[in-house]
Amino acid sequence: MIAAPTLSLVRRFGLLLLLTVALHAAAFTVELFNPDEAFVGTQARVVLDGGSVYDDTADRKAPALPYLYAAAFAVVGDDSLVGPRLLAMLALALTAFLVFLEGRARWGERAGWVAGLLCVFAATAYLPGDGQAASFELFMLPATVGAVVLARHGRWASAGAAVGLSVLVKQTGGVTLLPVASRAWRARQPRPFVLAALGFAAPVVLAAVLIGPGEYTRWNVLGTGGFAAPPPFGEAVQLLGEQVGLWIGLNAPLVLLLALAWRDRRHRSGAPPTESSGDNDLWIWLVGGIVAVALGWRFYGHYFLQLVPPVSLLAAGALARRSTRVRIGALLATGATATGCALGALFAHPADIIRPELTDGAARAIRAHSGADDRVLVWGLAPELYWEADRLPATRFVTTLSFLAGVQPSRDEPRAEPARANRKNWDDFLADFDAHQPRLVLDTAPAALKDAELAPMSKYSSLAIRIVGDYCFVREVRGMHLYERHTRPDADAVGYLARPDTPIAPPCGQTVGRGRSTP
């Protein structure tokens, strides 16, 4: 028989879960909210096919999320993203529940409820591609909040381990060490720091050992350099202004409550802090989250999800010192915004960066010209093509522009020159290509899909000669060129490649020979 206190907590969690599901009902109707879902979904399909992260499907991100997606697919199937989205709802509800516990411990039951509800509302008050997707940030949140809750109870090793787990979902989860360290500082002895450090290292080192220290470091640590390189200053300022303005607009009540919380803190600065009133660790947590949002110089909307827990707690603390009317008004305002965003997601068209008017037709063409077990290669930056076509990539690179061509998204001056190509990535790419030669190759550059025109395949001779020698041109679909593997080479590949005609391989029925070189 379940004890009454435990049953009461289960009911509280259940209510937060029901609210989360209601506000994320679009998960059951919308195929894709953003390309990241397609990217991780494709990685998860590779994992389910027996592959592993980094060796068989690579990214600059931490390794855990593709496995979480794969676990969801194993339970409900991979025909849609409903499974991972249900898991994301569970992660958000758990985050809100932990925020509730932290708020209750600091300011009482009522403030705990306010904090938990604000957490669900604030995490939903985004554009659909940011607030509804099963994102890295959402899956990272339970561990980050859990670390703060554990640190409050003096569970230093467990708190550090929770931060380590969050880092395995997204690297920026590591900034949660700052509020943990702030709590440890109060002990005035080194033991909490040592325990937290050991706890943090345990899951990270274990993951590195299981994956392989070299590959883990290459992709999860060293591989982020080009992606995180700053854009031109003017573009960065413009993007920062746009995204911060959007976040403030959608979370205006919380921004106002943050200002009140800061004013309250200044008024209390002369009084000795108590266990319930001290909120330095929350402000440190918020500042760390702001730094994490800025680290990639991109300021995408879903990056701001990392701010939701500390903002919700600080706002709840400010409301705990206000009247019931003010509390109800704040909850109604934030709830109304979240509801509006949730309803908008039900009727939203896919984001422009998905370009369904181009990708839907291309995905159908891939399915029509290949079997379910055939591997394909999409040259460009469109993971949604793999997802919609239900085909696995022939190489570990789900996208090729930034990994192979040096084109970084949201940069004003992208360069795609063979001299700038990553040699190690190209070696892996060509080895994968030759190990299981793709049945089809879809070149998105002719359609100028997501800057792919900056890196036409003809620039990279080792790939282009393989296409010329082993493939023939099937058809053009929405401006993209579709090539199919053939088995009857009979001419000089280099001679054909030197011609200025496009596409770079001859039509099927007119084949040419094969050749090899390096990128």
Instruction: State pLDDT tens for residues 393-451.
Output: 999 999 998 889 877 665 555 566 676 678 899 999 999 999 989 999 999 999 988 88
* pLDDT (0 to 100) of residue 142: 98
* pLDDT (0 to 100) of residue 179: 95
**pTM value?**
0.91
DSSP string covering 267-335, please? HHTTSPP-TTT--HHHHHHHHHHHHHHHHTS---GGGGGGGHHHHHHHHHHHHHTS-HHHHHHHHHHHH
Which residues lie closer than 8 Å to 412 by C-beta, 6 or more apart? 231, 232, 235
Query: Contacts from 468-471 at CB under 8 Å and sequence distance 24+?
Result: 468/493, 468/496, 468/497, 468/504, 468/505, 468/512, 468/514, 468/515, 469/493, 469/512, 469/513, 469/514, 469/515, 470/437, 470/514, 471/441, 471/505
* pLDDT (0 to 100) of residue 268: 66
* pLDDT (0 to 100) of residue 55: 93
Task: Compute how many other C-beta atoms are within 10 angstroms of the C-beta atom of residue 454.
Answer: 17
Distance separating alpha carbons of residues 389 and 339, to the nearest angstrom: 33
* pLDDT (0 to 100) of residue 294: 81
* pLDDT (0 to 100) of residue 323: 92
* pLDDT (0 to 100) of residue 513: 45
Asked if residues 38 and 198 have their Cβ atoms less than 8 Å apart, the reply is no
Question: Which residues of the chain fall below pLDDT 70?
Answer: 1-5, 223-236, 268-277, 296, 349-353, 408-417, 419-420, 487-501, 510-519
CA dihedral 54, 57, 58, 63 (to 10 degrees): -60
Q: How far is CA 41 from CA 34, 45, 60, 113, 387, in A?
A: 11, 6, 15, 34, 7
